[in-house]
Amino acid sequence: MKREIALFGAQCLRQPCAPVAVVEDAIRALVADLFDSMHAATGVGLAAPQIGVLKRVCVVDVTAHQPNCRPVALINPKITGREGEQIGEEGCLSFPDLYSDVKRYAWVEVEAIGLDGQPFKTAGEGFYARALQHEIDHLDGKLFIDYLSPLKRQLMRGALKRLKKESAAQAKASAIDSI
């Protein structure tokens, strides 16, 4: 089921997420919703807090950029290896139409739990490594704009203010919908 994606300014984007104790049907449904929401928004990754769920769950699908990388669901992911550095353009579904160059590790290895409840490792470089790091950051309440210089953030100030207003309106509409 496609869910609404929280915009910059939403409190859920700045809160660290709780680990998942047991992979059960509710977590598998959350993963399905993450994939549905990400694909509907034409994204390459989405983390649970972006749809208002403070659990350490995210999904990544970079097959359009790196066809050899399969879509992956990560539960309780943790970066266990890192090498090199890369600088590349990054955006975020919680920041529509905002992009900036961000420095990341060139290669990362991640340990996580799969939908079957079993631990696994995934590793990659380039765009896949960037997406993994970006989504895991979300689980810690960290956003891609946190990597930007004060000058770059200042240049985005108007757009960030607009997003905060939209986020407040989104929250107000959600509160009205739930009455």
135 belongs to the catalytic site: yes
Residues 90, 109, 135, 166: which is the catalytic one? 135
Q: Does residue 72 sit within a domain?
A: yes
Count of positions (residues) in the chain: 179
Q: Does residue 60 sit within a domain?
A: yes
First-to-last C-alpha distance (Å) of the chain: 21
Residue 135 belongs to domain spanning: 11-177
pLDDT of amino acid 171: 84
Domain count, the chain: 1
Q: Does residue 93 sit within a domain?
A: yes
- Average pLDDT value for residue range 11-40: 98
CATH classification at residue 137: 3.90.45.10
Kindly state the helix (H) or strand (E) to which residue 36 belongs, with its residue range.
helix 25-40
Average pLDDT, the chain: 95
pLDDT of amino acid 101: 96
pLDDT in tens, 116-165: 999 999 999 999 999 999 999 999 999 999 999 999 999 999 999 999 99
Q: How much of the chain, in percent, has pLDDT values that exceed 70?
A: 97
Q: Does residue 2 sit within a domain?
A: no
Q: Does residue 100 sit within a domain?
A: yes
Q: How much of the chain, in percent, has pLDDT values that exceed 90?
A: 93
Separation between Cα atoms, residue 166 and residue 163, nearest integer Å: 5
Separation between Cα atoms, residue 43 and residue 28, nearest integer Å: 20
pTM: 0.94
pLDDT of amino acid 173: 80
